[in-house]
Amino acid sequence: MSEVKARANALLRETLGPSAERIRSTLRDFGFSGCAADAFCALVRISDATAGDLVVKTGIPDSKIYYALDELAEKGLVEVQEGKPKTYRVVPAKEVEIRLNRLVEAEYDRRRAATTRLGSLLEPLRAAAKSPGTDVAYIVKGLPNIVARAKALVSSARKEVVVLASDEEIFRKLEDDLARSARRRVRIRLAVPEIPVMKDLEKAAEIRAIVCGCVLLVVDGQQVLTMSRTADGDAYAITSTDPTLVQLGLDYWESPRCCVT
């Protein structure tokens, strides 16, 4: 009987080993220290333990075990039972998942804010570096790249966005970004086919019917993007800050041969 029990324990250890290593690796990916990850893996296998118990089980030094447990408690992965000594236990698995999801969301928000901050820092530097003699036009190839550039231009707008889009599919890809700009009180002027426009954008924008076949975007009277061949494989666009090209784009909006009220 003792041999069977020993064998069962050996099989259990073989099964738990890879799982514990994956848990440890995942926690390290989330930014937990090695000691915190080791303490967590040890706690998962028992109902509760003191810091002294974990020192024996993990080999983590006395000088580091409390820092590791405080780290886990601060992130909400373990609960602390007050006493002399304190005891620790891992929260239910679903709660661990929720806590880690919150860490992911917080990290996403932090990175998104950093991205926005970087864009705001780059914009004045790029504006200061503009040279009309050299910044004539750039070509953007491929529909995903063109849409990404158009979205970035719309998001950067501070005063006004003019959009002429005879291609409904292209317009739909920009519609949410235009609505967000409108909520920032950016003036939106649209020329589109006779199609429904989302309500808040329709309410905020000046809308005309487009007569010509074109996709054109002008932002703040300073940047223009004009697109040709909208099929994904052949799509390309020209973007520029050249004042003449920008003015040509604005003239299309005013032209009765292109847009009518």
In this prediction, residue 15 carries a pLDDT of 38
**CATH of region 134-260, choose from 3.20.20.300, 1.20.1050.90, 3.40.718.10, 3.30.870.10:** 3.30.870.10
Average pLDDT over residues 232-256: 83
- Under 8 Å CB-to-CB from 141, ≥6 apart: which residues? 235, 236
pLDDT mean across residues, the chain = 82
Average pLDDT over residues 137-163: 88
Task: Sheet containing 259-260: give its strands across.
Answer: 138-141, 236-240, 223-228, 215-219, 160-165, 187-192, 206-210, 259-260
- 2-91 domain in CATH 1.10.287.3240? no
- Under 8 Å CB-to-CB from 73, ≥6 apart: which residues? 79, 80, 88
User: Which of 127, 129, 145 is closest to 225 using CA atoms?
Assistant: 145
User: Which of 153, 146, 103 is closest to 237 using CA atoms?
Assistant: 146
Residue-level length of the chain: 261
Give residue 138's pLDDT band: very low, low, confident or very high (50, 70, 90): confident
What does the pLDDT look like over 41-78, one tens digit per residue? 888 888 888 999 989 988 999 989 999 999 999 888 88
Query: Can you list the alpha helix ranges (DSSP code H) found in the chain?
Result: 2-29, 34-44, 51-58, 62-74, 93-129, 143-156, 168-183, 199-204, 243-254
Answer positive or negative: Cα dihedral of 251, 178, 140, 123. Answer: positive
The boundaries of every CATH 1.10.10.10 domain in the chain are 2-91
In this prediction, residue 144 carries a pLDDT of 86
In this prediction, residue 56 carries a pLDDT of 92
The answer, yes or no, to whether residue 28 has pLDDT greater than 80, is yes
Question: pTM of this prediction?
Answer: 0.51
Say if residues 227 and 146 touch (Cβ distance below 8 Å).
Answer: yes
Beta strands at 187-192 and 160-165: parallel, antiparallel or unpaired:
parallel
The boundaries of every CATH 3.30.870.10 domain in the chain are 134-260
What does the pLDDT look like over 163-198, one tens digit per residue? 998 888 989 999 999 999 999 999 999 999 888 989
Give the pair of three-digit tokens for residue 29: 């990916």
Cα–Cα separations (whole angstroms), residue 45 to 56, 94, 107, 163: 14, 16, 29, 61
